[in-house]
């Protein structure tokens, strides 16, 4: 994850995690990573992202969001680029721009970087 966030930073992007989880070991570890914004206990993901975007002078059109659950749908609908893993619920996959395959070796991060590179060259 640290390598991923550093590559994003070089491209002037941030990484973020918006989760319903309470603060725990994983969320604290993620929050300690440079260039990674973590918001926990959030059922209102749109509002949480809005609070992040305002001080950065960014809009929802600047957001690439990956979600797989029903609670992700409102933010997926507002994001500039909406992605769901192929394992996501059907209702979620209906509202996204792209679906990506995920396996346990972290290829989702690699896929996101490839997608950012491809979109920035279009």
| Residues of the domain holding 8 | 2-115
What CA–CA distance (Å, rounded) separates 120 from 116?
6
CATH (domain of 8): 3.40.50.1000
- Integer angstrom CA distances of residue 113 from 7, 8, 15, 117: 8, 8, 11, 6
Cα separations in angstroms, 42 against 26, 39, 77: 16, 7, 17
Kindly state whether residue 120 falls inside one of the protein's structural domains: no
Across 20-35, average pLDDT: 89
Q: Which residue in this structure is represented by tokens 């590559």?
A: 7
The answer to whether position 121 is within a domain reads no
**Predicted local confidence at residue 95, as pLDDT:** 97
The tens digit of pLDDT for each residue in 44-103 reads 999 999 999 999 999 999 898 989 999 999 999 999 989 998 899 999 999 999 888 776
**Residue 105 pLDDT exceeds 70:** no
Count of domains for the chain: 1
In this structure, is residue 122 part of a structural domain? no
Residue among 101, 97, 120 at smallest CA distance from 110: 101
Any domain includes 75: yes
Asked if residue 41 has pLDDT above 60, the reply is yes
């Amino acid at each position: 994850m640290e390598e991923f966030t550093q590559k994003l930073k070089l491209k002037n992007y941030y990484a973020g995690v918006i989760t319903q989880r309470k603060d725990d070991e994983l969320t604290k570890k993620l929050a300690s990573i440079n260039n990674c914004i973590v918001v926990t206990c959030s059922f209102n993901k749109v509002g949480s992202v809005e609070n992040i975007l305002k001080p950065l002078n960014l809009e929802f059109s600047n957001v690439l969001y990956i979600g797989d659950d029903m609670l992700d749908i409102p933010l997926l609908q507002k994001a500039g680029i909406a992605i769901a893993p192929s394992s996501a619920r059907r209702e979620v996959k209906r509202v996204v721009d792209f679906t990506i395959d995920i396996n346990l070796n972290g290829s989702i991060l690699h896929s996101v970087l490839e997608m950012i590179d491809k979109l920035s060259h279009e």
